């Protein structure tokens, strides 16, 4: 008898937790800010941030655009070119984070910031390929047609947003001296 009561209590607790989480999802989908409700709202907001319940689920909306994709062409001293991407493929969540960082390029209005982002990504490629002489950075986005456009014959296409070629500078002692650094 005691085992059944414990099992019912546990079931009730699980159902209550699921209902609370579903409530958080609804609040997130409605874009309600629970932090205005005092300490309980803070707890709800914290749970929403940790669980993703506060995301708003806008990724199904037609106005949500695709994330940009960065492709790199790494060329070595012999002229051989290799295709590369920033994502490692080892962890899906980390790869999504990389794609989100790439989207910062689209949001950046400052051209100096954009150049810094591209230089940073190219620097990652130079670090992966120490013998590389140049890296071409291509930032592209997939233009997905609506279902109606697809039925009319339009197909997905990659559109070039940005392209730059970065060349590895010599790291010899003479370079440091010319730039004012110690040998």
Instruction: Check: CB of residue 141 under 8 Å from CB of residue 161.
Output: yes
What is the structure's pLDDT at 138? 95
Q: How much of the chain exceeds pLDDT 70, in percent?
A: 86
Q: How far apart are CA 82 and CA 71, in angstroms?
A: 11
pLDDT top residue among 182 and 133: 133
What is the structure's pLDDT at 175? 40
Q: Under DSSP, is residue 57 helix (H, G, I), strand (E, B) or coil?
A: coil
Q: How far apart are CA 89 and CA 145, in angstroms?
A: 27
> Once rounded to an integer, what is the mean pLDDT over residues 37-62?
75
> Which pLDDT band, with edges at 50, 70 and 90, does 60 fall under?
low
Q: Where are the domains of the chain?
A: 2-58, 69-176
> Which pLDDT band, with edges at 50, 70 and 90, does 61 fall under?
low
Q: Assign 3-state DSSP to the chain and report helix, strand, coil percentages, each to 5.
A: 50, 20, 30
> Once rounded to an integer, what is the mean pLDDT over residues 38-49?
84
């Amino acid at each position: 008898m005691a085992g059944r009561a414990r099992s019912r209590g546990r079931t009730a607790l699980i159902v209550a937790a699921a209902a609370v989480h579903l409530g958080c999802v609804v609040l997130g989908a409605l874009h309600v800010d629970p932090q205005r409700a005092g300490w309980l709202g803070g707890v709800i907001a914290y749970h929403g941030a940790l669980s993703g319940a506060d995301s708003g689920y806008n990724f199904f909306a037609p106005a949500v655009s695709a994330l940009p994709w960065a492709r790199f062409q790494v060329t070595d001293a012999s002229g051989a070119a290799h295709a590369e991407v920033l994502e490692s493929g080892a962890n899906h969540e980390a790869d999504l984070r990389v794609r989100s960082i790439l989207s910062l390029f689209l949001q950046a209005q400052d051209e100096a910031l954009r150049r810094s982002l591209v230089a940073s990504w190219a620097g990652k490629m130079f670090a992966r390929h120490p013998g590389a002489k140049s890296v071409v950075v291509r930032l592209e986005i997939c233009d997905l047609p609506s279902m109606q456009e697809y039925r009319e014959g339009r197909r997905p296409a990659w559109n070039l947003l940005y392209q730059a070629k970065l060349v590895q500078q010599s790291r010899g002692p003479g370079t440091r001296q010319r730039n004012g650094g110690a040998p």
